[in-house]
A = this chain, B = another copy of it.
Amino acid sequence: MDDRGNARGYYGEFGGSFIPEILVATFDELTAAFSEAKADPEFWARYAELMSTYSCRPTPLTFCERLTKHFGGAQIYVKREDLNHTGAHKANNVMGQGLLVQRMGKTRVIAETGAGQHGVATATMAAKFGFDCTIYMGEIDVERQRPNVFWMERLGATVVAVTDGTRILKDAINEAFRDWVTSMDDTHYVLGTACGPHPFPEMVSYFQSIIGSEARDQIRAQTGALPKRIYACVGGGSNAMGIFSAFLDDSEVELIGVEAGGRGLETGEHASRLACGDASVGVAQGYKTYFLQTDDGQMRETHSVAAGLDYVGVSPILANLRDEGRVRFESATDREVIDALALTLKMEGLVPALESTHAFVQAFKEAPNLSPDDVIIINQSGRGDKDIFTVADAFEDPKWREFIKRKAEEYDAGA
């Protein structure tokens, strides 16, 4: 991926590095280490090798024959980040940062997590590399995402439930920064998405760009041409940047980012920063971008059925690509997501994560209006079986409820 930010990590008016003085040296060190690594061809080779022996890169590009027939328009291809080790594209980022941590000689990593995916991925990376690991997670998310917490702890990580603020992802980020300003000598903060102060947006996008460079080769090998459109969900923006980056210069390829429409844009209960006018430019968590905030500049509560999209900010790189007109933004409601998930399960045997399913929703809306000669790619950023508690609730599955009640009774009887 070419680096479109300037030396301070600005993409148009977005990005930058708004950090406490105490962290400046740490960011300088990180920026230098990252620049060096990028300039070292060995580094990417080691990264690619690690991802191909520890995770399963290249991940496949799957043709969805039945969905294509069903919609009767564009040929639908899906990039399978769900097949990564730990079940999502998050693996790309954490393993890359892991190599960087090794290079910098640090021995401990910290991370924030909302859905838990990035926490599990980081804990996994830490186990593999032998780093100490602390994961910050909003208390509400800890309760919602207990299975992921369970695995993080088994992987050897300490999970800290953040009881301050709104007790969700953004508060976990703040808390991770608070750890870092004390511990930076031996600790690296593994930020989970293409947000935060420079060089994180660039760095995370760099590691995630492996998605797009594979997908570009694969779609050309499999169809002989470039796709007409590419769809990716947008939480912080890392999977979207990952797949978009390889196509930025292909002006014939339309790039579509899909945000969380939650209960509907009109209700205000959503997490759409770029697809509607509810967000405004601000500076928080160390960078400048569109935030869902009040007129005073206080961050607002957001909502999505997909915990991983439920975030107030968005990648400054994407904010700029939106303003430049290079990426179009749309949103998908919780309800649409559940319906698209049901369809995708039944028609293709794929289980996209609720986050990823947002991209499917928009693709399904547009596919019928495209020609059968057109090819589109949906980035399936992760797998949905991690979401069983949420999905079972969304489908209101009575047998699942019975099962959970029975389990609870067993535990009551045993306790």
Contacts and interface: CB of A to CB of B under 8 A. Distances in A.
Interface string A51-77: 011111001111100100000000000
Contact of A150 (B143, B151, B348, B388): B388
Interface residues of A, number: 62
A351 B151 contact: yes
A389 B399 CA distance: 16
Interface in A383-415: 385-386, 388-389, 391-392, 395, 397, 399-401, 403-409, 411-412, 415
Contact of A154 (B52, B54, B59, B345): B345
A400 B128 contact: no
Contacts of A401: 411, 415
A349 interface: yes
Given A345-B155, A385-B151, A408-B404, A56 B53 contact: no
Contacts of A54: 60, 62
Contacts of A385: 87, 147, 151, 385-386
B351 A146 contact: no
A244 to B, nearest CB: 22
Interface of A is mostly: helix
A229 B29 CA distance: 45
A404 B411 CA distance: 9
Given A124-B349, A401-B415, A405-B412, A61 B53 contact: yes
Contacts of A83: 55-56, 83-85
Nearest to A77: B53
A38 to B, nearest CB: 25
A129 to B, nearest CB: 8
Contact of A147 (B146, B342, B388, B412): B388
Contacts of A130: 66
A99 B389 CA distance: 33
Contacts of A154: 342, 345-346, 391, 395
A98 B270 CA distance: 41
A349 B87 CA distance: 13
Interface in A39-61: 52-56, 59-61
A118 interface: no
A149 interface: yes
Given A54-B60, A385-B385, A404-B407, 9 more contacts: A56-B59, A80-B85, A143-B403, A146-B399, A146-B400, A154-B395, A155-B349, A404-B404, A408-B409
7 contacts: A53-B62, A54-B60, A56-B60, A127-B345, A127-B349, A149-B399, A405-B408
